[in-house]
Structure 1
Amino acid sequence: MGMYVSVRGWLELDFAQKSDAERVIGTDGDDPYSGGWAWPARPFNWTLYLFYGGDVREGALQGVRSQVERLAALPPVDEDGDRPRGVFVLTDERGRSWCWQIRDGVVLDAPAPEFGWLAR
């Protein structure tokens, strides 16, 4: 069967990046784990949040990470130079917990023992 990893998190985007983000997600439309992405039903204010939540087979985790990496790499849309940023918390059936930190166009791995309680 394989182990599962629970992935949950978000990216903060500019509204002008929404169509590019939808293209990134749509590129992998036949991947069942692409269904874990969601936008707020009624976005408000100036930041657009893109959420992800799903239990992913360990062998397919790289596919989700690839999407996150492509989203993180979206170019800035204005002179402020703001790029997507966010965090994803991952826990697995072995009780491990870590996170992906998204900033400056890249995805960084970091231990997250403080989220170990989510793995129980």
Structure 2
Amino acid sequence: MGMYVAVRGWLEFDHGQREQVERTLAEHRDDQYAGGWAFPARPFNSTLYVFYGGDIREQAVASFREQVAELARLNPVDDDLDRPVGFFLLSDERQGSTSWTIRDGEVADTVAPADLRWFAERP
């Protein structure tokens, strides 16, 4: 059957990248966990925050991570050359926790910061 992993996090984009983000996510729309992505209803402020929240099977984590990595590699759209940045916290039923930090086109896997590990604790 498999274990579930709680995945929650966000990526930050330039509003000019929204079309690229939507296109990338549409390529994965058949994925059973694609429904966890959320966009703001309308643009506001200067940053586009795209959120994800959902419980996914452990065997789907690698595929989901590759989707996040695709988004991390999106090309900058302005002279600042800013790449997407973000953070994801993953916790599993064994009370393990991992974090992904997205920066400079890369996804770095680390043990979740100690002050966030309480998310993984199950009563």
CA distance in structure 2 between the partners assigned to 1:110 and 1:81 by the alignment = 26
The runs of 5 or more residues in structure 2 that have no matched partner are none
CA distance in structure 2 between the partners assigned to 1:12 and 1:42 by the alignment = 15
> Number of paired residues?
120
| 2:20 equivalent to 1:24 | no
CA distance in structure 2 between the partners assigned to 1:116 and 1:15 by the alignment = 32
**Alignment RMSD:** 0.9
Q: TM-score, normalised by structure 1?
A: 0.96
Q: Tell me the SS of whatever aligns to 1:32.
A: coil
Q: Is the 8 A contact 2:8 2:90 kept in 1?
A: yes
| 2:82 equivalent to 1:95 | no
Q: Is the 8 A contact 2:15 2:43 kept in 1?
A: no
Q: Offset at 1:86?
A: 0.6
Q: Tell me the SS of whatever aligns to 1:17.
A: helix
Aligned residue number for residue 119 of structure 2 = 118
Q: Tell me the SS of whatever aligns to 2:33.
A: helix
The runs of 5 or more residues in structure 1 that have no matched partner are none
Q: Tell me the SS of whatever aligns to 2:68.
A: helix
Deviations 1:6-42 (A, max 9, x none): 0000000001100101111110111111111010123
Q: Tell me the SS of whatever aligns to 2:49.
A: strand
Q: Is the 8 A contact 1:40 1:50 kept in 2?
A: yes
Deviations 1:54-74 (A, max 9, x none): 001000111211110000000
Q: Is the 8 A contact 1:34 1:64 kept in 2?
A: no
Q: Which runs of at least 4 in structure 1 moved beyond 4 Å after TM superposition?
A: none
Q: Tell me the SS of whatever aligns to 1:25.
A: helix
- The residue correspondences of 1:39-50 to structure 2 (distance < 5 A) are 39-50=39-50
Q: Quote the sequence identity (%).
A: 58
Q: State the AA in 2 paired with 1:61.
A: V
Q: TM-score, normalised by structure 2?
A: 0.94
- Greater shift, 81-90 or 37-46, is seen at 37-46
